[in-house]
Structure 1
């Protein structure tokens, strides 16, 4: 009985340590590319775990960078994300995005971008390298919504470009 209890306690302790380590740096981000029919804009929303962003800004901008209390650091991180996210047509013609702001919301740091929807857009070629230059294990997931069925792209390992196709309705 004592052996069973000690094994059970050891197993629970391992689970606690593992989940505690996991709760710190997730190394995942989720973005949404929304084709908004009301505004005719493409709205892009990037959601990063605030804890990941805290670690990242210290690596990228120096040990005094503070994403929670420094507007300057928040702007720098927003620009960093914007520079590492691109959308283009299949022929390579870039679809330029402008910044639409950023915010901290609970445990997340959000970066917003937008642009007017181009005419006759049959596909998008997307690159999303934010934090992947820092952590090769970083996984960036993108959900493309509002133009046909929901499509999900996952940037992991050595994937640099992914493409979505749209129905020709």
Structure 2
């Protein structure tokens, strides 16, 4: 599935879900996409812009402006990147590099990517963005493109979650 189509479906589902809530959602959705065309792992984090606005003022000071300041946008992107990590169960870290960030409607997106390791049986993931700020923050990750869709939910005291991949 293309990145655009994946994002479009995710956005539509989340718009439907977000109409149930008001203002701060304290939820974020990420997609880890195994792209067979590029042989890369592409990570797309989607935060509600309203949440990101509140967060940057807490983290970077009351003058932080995620809508009008590229500097604040970069700072938030780096903040997210530092609080998201993937490794293999054997401890081998999977290092991600920034692939940019953008505001798209009511959302702030942070993109990361890396080459897919040759042998990958599992991923151990940590996603603590905003959870240090708001204990009620829920970060959901969809893992796509490597077998069946798998969904992980980071909430309460959950620090690490693992997905395993079948080899046919």
Residue 143 of structure 2 is aligned to residue 150 of structure 1: no
The aligned runs of 1:16-27 (5 Å cut-off) are 22-27=21-26
Name the residue aligned to 1:136.
135
- Could you tell me which runs of 5 or more consecutive residues in structure 1 were left unpaired when the two chains were aligned: 1-18
How much has 1:93 moved relative to structure 2? 1.1
The aligned runs of 1:80-159 (5 Å cut-off) are 80-159=79-158
How much has 1:120 moved relative to structure 2? 1.0
TM-score normalised by structure 1 residue count? 0.87
How much has 1:21 moved relative to structure 2? 10
Name the residue aligned to 1:31.
30
Greater radius of gyration (CA):
1
Root-mean-square deviation (CA, aligned residues, Å) is: 1.4
The aligned runs of 1:2-13 (5 Å cut-off) are none
SS at match of 2:93: coil
TM-score normalised by structure 2 residue count? 0.88
- Could you tell me which runs of 5 or more consecutive residues in structure 2 were left unpaired when the two chains were aligned: 1-17
Name the residue aligned to 1:6.
none
Segments of 4+ moved more than 4 angstroms: none
Q: Deviations over 1:95-151 (max 9, x none)?
A: 000000000000000000000000110000000000000000000000000000000
Task: Find the aligned partners of 1:134 and 1:93 in 2 and give their Cα distance.
Answer: 28
Name the residue aligned to 1:67.
66
SS at match of 1:23: coil
